[in-house]
Amino acid sequence: MDKTHEILDTQTTDCCVVGGGPAGAVLALLLARQGIAVKLLELHKDFDRDFRGDTIHPSVMQIMEELGLSDRLLALPHGKMRHIQIKTPQGTFTIGDFSRLHTPYPYIMMLPQVKFLEFITQEAQQYPNFQLITGANVQELIEENGVVQGVRYRGQGGWHEIRSTLTVAADGRHSKLRQLMGAESIETSAPMDVLWFRLPRYPNDVAGGMGRFAPGKIVVMLDRGDEWQLGYIIAKGGYQELRAAGLAAFKQSIVEVVPELNVDSDGLGKRIDLLQDWSQIAFLCVESNRVKHWYKPGILLIGDAAHIMSPVGGVGINYAIQDAVVTANVLTKPLRNHHVEVSDLAKVQQQRELPTRIIQAFQSFIQQRIFTLILNENQTFQPPLLLRLPILQDLPARLIALGVFPVHVQI
């Protein structure tokens, strides 16, 4: 530790979870329900971020049902996406029909992530052994004799220290704790990046999720009730060239794929004209990787800190929450005993690594075979065999909605 640090206070807990996203929040709730003392550290003052994933998949809804929370979650204002289609000059194809799945929740729930995280943490706050600390900027690991014993963070007027039996890094794709661990990643090259923005959705618009393809262009449309969340797919590394061409050229590219955005509807004006500044558009550098080792003595990585997912299928939240459930299933008993072995941490990776590798391979297939093809203006889109054979058409929906293997709460 830097000798200039003046530690204002030192606290102790069974589990210190760093990162208040879906993985960290759900894990903290699961542990708190079992009487485990848990502190959840969140860098920001609240959970409100722009263009975070807003999808709650059927597998997550089943987990919520096992926790007795599904009815209350469904009582929140939300939308339901029952199918995903792609529209091309050659026709419209359904790539995910969730209504055909054998599940009580045959849809993807569209709920702002801020509302989901507030719901989960409010539930956790019913337990006296849970504490949420916001504005906590974790900067250091406390490591003694090769074992992580907790973290030091800045916030609330100075430096603070939390000592814990276990530290869980759930701090996302830009994980500080992964960096501090020195975890080595296995990189998968993604051929694309995404520009996200929002425009109003009119009552006569189609419902659900839609991919709109034209030669050299892709626009993803996510139904969020009274607005569309749109993603404009670009080839990896093409952002600066697109910016240099100007906002007008960008808007023209969009309406070439989604012409109804450039039509005055009942005097409401042209929706595309609402894009007036680049500040309304968020750039997402698409990455896909996973770390080789999710753990070392005293610390475990889960969610995006362990495996960064491509946005294909919107499965990142799904897999992060499944990580949290497996972590709680495996580690509740060791945490109760205040002693977590490296072999216990290894069990989490053993259960979650194969599903992660399978879904990342599926995402890579979609990216390489569809997105790369469409971004090549000289090729004609033909849906892959996976989308044309009836016997295989349910496979993408199952992978997106339910994951590779079912995960259930066992505590």
Q: 201 is in which domain, residue-wise?
A: 192-235+237-284
49 inside domain: yes
| 410 assigned to some structural domain | no
AA letter at 70: S
224 and 367 part of one domain: no
Among 308, 411, 320, which Cα is nearest to 363's? 308
pLDDT above 80: residue 88? no
Does 258 lie in the same domain as 316? no
Task: Give how many domains the chain has, as a whole number.
Answer: 2
Query: What pLDDT sits at residue 245?
Result: 95
Residues 212 and 171 in one domain: no
Is 338 in the same domain as 367?
yes
**Same domain as 125, residue 75:** yes
Position 1 in a domain: no
- In this structure, are 292 and 266 located in the same domain? no
Residue 150 contacts by C-beta under 8 Å, 6 or more apart in sequence? Answer: 16, 141, 142, 161, 162, 163, 164, 167
Question: Packing angle between helix 58-66 and helix 394-402, nearest 10 degrees?
Answer: 40
Kindly state the average pLDDT of the residues 25-54.
Answer: 90
**pLDDT at residue 216 tops 80:** no
Of the two residues 51 and 157, the one the predictor is more confident about is 157
Entry pTM: 0.90
Helix (H, G, I), strand (E, B) or coil at 156: coil
Band of pLDDT at residue 379, cut at 50, 70 and 90: low
> Alpha helix (H) ranges present in 197-338?
239-245, 247-257, 316-336
Using pLDDT thresholds of 50, 70 and 90, give the confidence band for residue 250: very high
Whether residue 85 lies inside any domain: the answer is yes
Q: Judge if 166 and 303 occupy the same domain.
A: yes
For the cut 50, the answer to whether the pLDDT of residue 1 exceeds it is no
Residues 292 and 278 in one domain: no
Share of the chain above pLDDT 90, in %: 59
- The phi and psi torsions of 107 (rounded to 5 degrees) equal -165, 165
Same domain, 291 and 166: yes
The arithmetic mean of pLDDT across residues 335-344, rounded, is 97
- Say yes or no to pLDDT of 189 above 70: no
**pLDDT band, residue 141 (cuts 50/70/90):** very high
Same domain, 222 and 257: yes
Residue 19 counted as domain residue: yes
For residue range 285-320, list pLDDT tens digits in order.
888 889 999 999 999 999 999 999 988 888 899 999
Q: Which residues contact 172 (CB under 8 A, 6 or more apart)?
A: 19, 21, 303, 304, 305
Per the domain annotation, does 2 fall within a domain?
A: no
CATH code, 36: 3.50.50.60
For residues 205 and 352, state if they share a domain.
no
The three-point CA angle 389-393-396 to 5° equals: 135
Q: Tokens representing 408? A: 């259930």
Q: 167 in a domain, yes or no?
A: yes
Could you tell me if 305 and 246 lie in one domain? no
Q: What is the pLDDT of residues 255-271, one digit of tens each?
A: 999 998 988 766 667 89
